[in-house]
Chain A
Amino acid sequence: MDNVIRSRTPAARAGRLLLQAVLVVAALWYLLPLAVMVLTSLKPLDEIGAGSLLTLPEHPTLAPWLKAWGSACTGMRCEGVSGYFWNSFAIVIPAVIIATLIGALNGYALTKWRFRGAELLFALMLFGCFIPFQVILLPMAQTLGWLGLSSSRAGLVLVHVVFGIAFTTLFFRNFYVSVPDELVAAAKLDGAGFFRIFWRILLPVSKPIIVVSVIWQFTQIWNDFLFGVAFSGHDTQPVTVALNNLVNTSTGVKEYNVDMAAAMIAALPTLLVYVLAGKYFVRGLTAGSVKG
């Protein structure tokens, strides 16, 4: 695809320069909000009104970060976002582990132990990936109440697992389809059971798809706002909800530098995952779409 035209005339060379320039300008557009976010979060408040978006901080300071972390007001309380940051982890970690485990077993059962109706069951579950969640919010709120889980972290873990397994099952099913059935058939003949085959044959080759599933779930749940705002209490809000409250708290002077620092804090975990494991992140994004 890339060796379409390789002429070396001056016009072609100018064209390539232009091409490169267009791409760099596009990159700057994508980077602008991040740059502004970082710059603003390092400025003292008086520099914000005086300078413009892209002026470098004259007296760079970490005070907005410290305030966002420990003492900024989110609604009624003024304890920063730190507690909510850890809330997010307390919700994300169990939800990711449980959903990935269930998804792996489901994908395995669906592909290596095919039975009548398996495809139908899969289609049934897959539908969970697509519904607008507004359609389950009210019954979910009531059910969480009945289960005694309203406004609790455990309740949010449950919700995220319930709506995560559709995706994780999809990932693992599509991955296990390409693992040769002969291996499994041979093991069955040798008398190996369901879990033994999973443990010995499927799990050892599953590392890439486990990474994809974990990253996808982590990003989705960390970035969730709808479930967080609908089902959490004051103490159990995830960081996205706290960030929104912090930005919209209208008492006193508006501290944009603190807002930006809080936004950075909320964004850092997923950004870090993206930088460290971008390849898997993209694979997760495209897994459900191109390959189906």
Chain B
Amino acid sequence: MKSVSTHADAWRRGGRPAARASLTGRFQAWLPKLVLAPSVAISLCFIYGFMLWTFVLSLTNSRMLPSYDFVGFAQYARLMANERWWVAATNLGVFGALFVGICLVLGAGLAILLDQRIRQEGVLRTIYLYPMALSFIVTGVVWKWLLNPGLGIQAMVRGWGFESFTFDWLVDPDMAVYTLVIAAVWQASGFVMALFLAGLRGIDDSILKAAQLDGASLPRVYRRVVMPCLRPVVFSAVMILSHIAIKSFDLVVALTGGGPGYASDLPATFMYAHAFTRAQIGMGSASAILMLGGVLAILVPYLYSELRSRRHG
């Protein structure tokens, strides 16, 4: 690639035919930039401009409508003193950690098992992955029905004769956040499986054969040889999953509505509620900026290592 681009550069610099230097030629040279310009402008305006705008709003005392009376970081201070925000932030920690952790274990486990020359592998893979095609709203609606204590799984198991079986997390303020984990894991773990399976298939067979010839047992081969090879997969999976966790909004709305009370609120629903329904635009903006901070804290190390590995690879 490098050599080709330098070749093209040389062509552009020196060997350019005279006709190309004409007006149309210069226009041609500008065309790629012209084609990119609208997208770049859109990104600058709608992503960076809007982020800045939201930050500005977070420094004002805007309520129903944006106003520009600056109050410094007072909204952040209010946020820090707001119990509901802390519930949402803590929930995100619990939800995020469990969601990412369980998805990784389940995804890696299924991928390793699937990789043992299984009959009907294609069918199983298709089944594991289909929830990823659904909207989180659909997932939320279905799991709300399954977890409904009166008519769902609890009722079904009681109907089998286990009269004291209780599974009412959906209406239990202490447990509601775990229902989010169940539904989200159901939706995303198949995707993690697909990532791991692709990673496993990419490992060179000869390394494994060599390890086996050396007398390593199967679990040992997986632990010492395969897992280290899969480190990049684990890394991307963690990135993608934590990203999904921070953005989770629809699932909460459809499954628990943030309830009971606000027991299963996440920052995304907190932000929406304050900015759009509770006329607290200033505080809503402050919470959005903190969410962005959370994403950046995960993203920056990721992009850094990605760019570095590409430069060295």
A positions within 8 Å CB-CB of B: 1-5, 16, 19-20, 22-24, 26-27, 29-34, 36-37, 40, 48-49, 52-54, 102, 105-106, 108-110, 113-115, 118, 121, 124-125, 127-128, 130-140, 142-143, 162-163, 165-166, 169, 177, 180-182, 185, 188-189, 191, 193-195, 219, 222-226, 229-230, 240, 243-244, 247-248, 256, 259-260, 263, 266-267, 270-271, 273-275, 278, 281-282, 285-286, 289-290, 292
Beyond A106-B35, A247-B254, 7 additional contacts (C-beta under 8 Å) are: A1-B115, A4-B218, A136-B51, A165-B39, A247-B141, A260-B142, A290-B232
Is the Cβ of B137 less than 8 Å from the Cβ of A136?
no
A152 to B65, CA, bound (A): 21
Take A33-B143, A135-B289, A138-B66 as given contacts and tell me if A274 and B133 are in contact as well, using a CB distance cutoff of 8 Å. yes
Is the Cβ of B118 less than 8 Å from the Cβ of A222?
no
Binds A, one of B71-79, B96-104, B171-179, B198-206: B198-206
A16 to B118, CA, bound (A): 9
Residue ID in chain B nearest A219 by CB atoms: B133
Is the Cβ of A285 less than 8 Å from the Cβ of B40?
no
Query: Given B138, B253, B275, which contacts A138 in the complex, CB threshold below 8 Å?
Result: B275
Q: Which residues of A contact B258 (CB under 8 A)?
A: none
Is the Cβ of A30 less than 8 Å from the Cβ of B127?
yes
User: Nearest Cβ in chain A — how far from B139, in angstroms?
Assistant: 8
Is the Cβ of B113 less than 8 Å from the Cβ of A23?
yes
Q: Which residues of B contact A2 (CB under 8 A)?
A: 115-117
Take A240-B137, A289-B239 as given contacts and tell me if A1 and B208 are in contact as well, using a CB distance cutoff of 8 Å. yes
Take A20-B119, A131-B292, A226-B250 as given contacts and tell me if A136 and B135 are in contact as well, using a CB distance cutoff of 8 Å. no
Is the Cβ of B208 less than 8 Å from the Cβ of A4?
yes
A208 to B7, CA, bound (A): 29
Is B18 an interface residue, CB under 8 A from the partner?
A: no
Residue ID in chain B nearest A32 by CB atoms: B146
Is B184 an interface residue, CB under 8 A from the partner?
A: no
Would you give 21 A-B contacts (Cβ < 8 Å), ordered by A?
Answer: A1-B200, A27-B124, A30-B130, A37-B142, A109-B31, A113-B31, A131-B295, A134-B249, A134-B275, A135-B51, A162-B42, A165-B42, A225-B254, A240-B137, A263-B141, A266-B137, A270-B135, A275-B130, A289-B240, A290-B198, A292-B306
- 0/1 per residue, B25-68, Cβ < 8 Å to A? 00010011101101110111011011101100100000000100
Take A133-B247, A134-B271 as given contacts and tell me if A225 and B295 are in contact as well, using a CB distance cutoff of 8 Å. no
Query: Given A36, A109, A177, A292, which contacts B32 in the complex, CB threshold below 8 Å?
Result: A109
Q: Which residues of A contact B36 (CB under 8 A)?
A: 106, 109-110, 118, 121
Is the Cβ of B119 less than 8 Å from the Cβ of A240?
no
Query: Given A118, A267, A282, which contacts B138 in the complex, CB threshold below 8 Å?
Result: A267
Is the Cβ of A40 less than 8 Å from the Cβ of B145?
yes
Is the Cβ of B135 less than 8 Å from the Cβ of A22?
no
Residue ID in chain B nearest A48 by CB atoms: B151
Is B149 an interface residue, CB under 8 A from the partner?
A: no
Most buried by B among A3, A34, A137: A137
Residue ID in chain B nearest A230 by CB atoms: B276
Is B191 an interface residue, CB under 8 A from the partner?
A: yes
Is B5 an interface residue, CB under 8 A from the partner?
A: yes
A137 to B66, CA, bound (A): 13
Most buried by B among A26, A31, A32: A26
Is B165 an interface residue, CB under 8 A from the partner?
A: no
A138 to B65, CA, bound (A): 10
Is the Cβ of B110 less than 8 Å from the Cβ of A26?
yes
Q: Which residues of A contact B218 (CB under 8 A)?
A: 4-5
Is B132 an interface residue, CB under 8 A from the partner?
A: yes
Is the Cβ of B155 less than 8 Å from the Cβ of A52?
yes
Residue ID in chain A nearest B222 by CB atoms: A4
Take A165-B39, A244-B253, A267-B134 as given contacts and tell me if A132 and B246 are in contact as well, using a CB distance cutoff of 8 Å. yes
Q: Which residues of A contact B295 (CB under 8 A)?
A: 130-132
Is the Cβ of A115 less than 8 Å from the Cβ of B32?
yes
Is the Cβ of A181 less than 8 Å from the Cβ of B8?
yes
Residue ID in chain B nearest A37 by CB atoms: B142
Residue ID in chain B nearest A225 by CB atoms: B250
Q: Which residues of B contact A33 (CB under 8 A)?
A: 131, 139, 142-143, 146, 186
